[in-house]
């Protein structure tokens, strides 16, 4: 190959996870895929629909795209403020309903077991 530098062959590596050779230039890469939760690279057999086996076992997938933490904080902030001021009860109820819906969705996911969203 006359169009590559003389040291081209010095930049080949072998992926420890999948065993495929890749080049530092990016022209050839291994078969690993990034997990959408932990963002680590995993070989094709250790990842299912974008989620690695450790993340499947840790149940991260059940909380995917849910805003439970933000919803809980919003409820607590409203309750804290309502101790000192008159707060509209419909706002509190709405925030609690959002939190409840997210928890219900996570519960259904955990009950069914891992499935890609």
Residues 54-91 have pLDDT tens digits of 988 888 888 888 888 888 888 888 777 655 555 567 77
Residue 116 confidence (pLDDT): 59
Q: Whole domain around residue 2: which residue ranges?
A: 1-61
Q: Is the pLDDT at 104 greater than 90, yes or no?
A: yes
| pTM of the shown model | 0.56
The pLDDT value given to residue 113:
84
Give 22-60 as a DSSP string: EETTSSS--S-EE-TTT--EE-GGGEETTEEHHHHHHTG
Q: pLDDT confidence of 2, banded at 50, 70, 90? A: low
Q: Are residues 91 and 112 in the same domain?
A: yes
Pull the structure tokens for residue 13. Answer: 């590596």
Residues 57 and 70 in one domain: no
- Cβ burial, residue 9 (10 Å; 0-12/13-18/19+): exposed
Mean pLDDT of the chain: 81
Read off the pLDDT of residues 34-45 as tens digits, 9 standing for 90 and up: 998 899 989 988
Contacts for 35 with CB less than 8 Å, ≥ 6 apart = 41, 42, 47, 50, 51, 52, 55
Task: Indicate the residue among 16, 43, 61 that finishes a domain.
Answer: 61
- Please indicate, yes or no, whether residues 8 and 50 belong to a single structural domain of this protein: yes
Cα distance between residue 68 and residue 102, in whole Å: 6
């Amino acid at each position: 190959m006359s169009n590559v530098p003389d040291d081209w062959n010095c930049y080949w590596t072998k992926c420890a996870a999948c065993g495929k050779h890749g080049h530092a230039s990016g022209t050839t890469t291994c078969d690993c895929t990034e997990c959408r939760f932990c963002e680590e690279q995993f070989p094709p057999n250790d990842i299912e629909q974008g989620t690695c086996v450790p993340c499947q076992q840790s149940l991260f997938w059940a909380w995917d795209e849910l805003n439970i933490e933000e919803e809980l904080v919003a409820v607590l902030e409203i309750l804290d403020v309502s101790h000192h001021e008159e707060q509209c009860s419909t706002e509190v109820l709405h925030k609690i309903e959002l939190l409840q819906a997210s928890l219900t969705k996570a519960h259904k996911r955990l009950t069914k077991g891992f499935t890609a969203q």
